[in-house]
């Protein structure tokens, strides 16, 4: 081996060693799989607890994020057809989380238990997506008409994985 070849090899050895941490990070990333899909604060696999007070009563629901699908203006945990059906039929317990990418807001909507023959829905709209818990405005509707507004908060109760 010539002196040039030995010198070139000697210069490359430290560079190869510096690649080891990157290779190690990539290998561990491959072992755990890709990161869950995320849009705004919503991450596939999360569970959110949403609570609030309106008309003197406390309400609470749990919203799972099994997937994020494209809907008008953003992403949601349920498709538009499922949302329409769930709310139109007044299926108590049906809920959805939506991230509006233009307005940078998160909305949690759910169907509450019927009050007599009235269909009840709640909407927690959050426009400030900083901090924990996220806080916003809670709207209480009966048969599609707003009855009252209150306050709400949403916090992640379970992370993916």
Instruction: Please give the chain's pLDDT, 161 residues, in tens.
Output: 555 544 444 444 444 444 443 333 344 445 567 778 898 999 999 999 999 999 999 999 999 999 999 998 899 999 999 999 999 999 999 999 999 999 999 999 999 999 999 999 999 999 999 989 999 999 999 999 999 999 999 999 999 87
Question: Is residue 121 within 8 Å of 111, Cβ to Cβ?
Answer: yes
Per-domain residue ranges of the chain:
1-34, 38-158
Task: Name the residue with tokens 């849009």.
Answer: 39
At the top level of CATH, which class does the domain 38-158 belong to? mainly beta
Q: Which residues face 61 on adjacent strands?
A: 50
pTM of the full predicted structure?
0.78
User: How far, CA to CA in Å, does 142 sit from each of 19, 84, 112, 115?
Assistant: 61, 16, 10, 8
Under DSSP, the state recorded for 36 is: P
Q: Which residues face 62 on adjacent strands?
A: 49
Per DSSP, helices labelled H in 33-157 are: 80-88
């Amino acid at each position: 081996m010539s002196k040039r070849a030995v010198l070139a090899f000697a210069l490359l050895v430290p560079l190869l060693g510096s690649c080891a941490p990157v290779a190690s990070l990539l290998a561990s990333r491959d072992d755990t799989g890709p990161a869950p899909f995320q849009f705004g604060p919503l991450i596939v696999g999360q569970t959110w607890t949403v609570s609030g007070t309106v008309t003197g009563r406390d309400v609470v629901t749990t919203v799972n994020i099994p997937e994020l699908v494209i809907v008008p203006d953003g992403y949601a945990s349920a498709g538009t057809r499922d949302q329409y059906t769930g709310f139109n039929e007044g299926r108590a317990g049906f809920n959805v989380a939506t991230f509006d990418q233009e307005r940078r807001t998160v909305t949690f909507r759910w169907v509450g238990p019927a009050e007599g023959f009235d269909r009840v829905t709640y909407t927690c709209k959050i426009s400030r997506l900083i901090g924990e818990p996220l806080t916003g405005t809670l709207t209480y509707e009966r048969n599609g008409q707003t009855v009252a507004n209150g306050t709400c908060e949403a916090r992640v109760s379970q992370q993916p994985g």
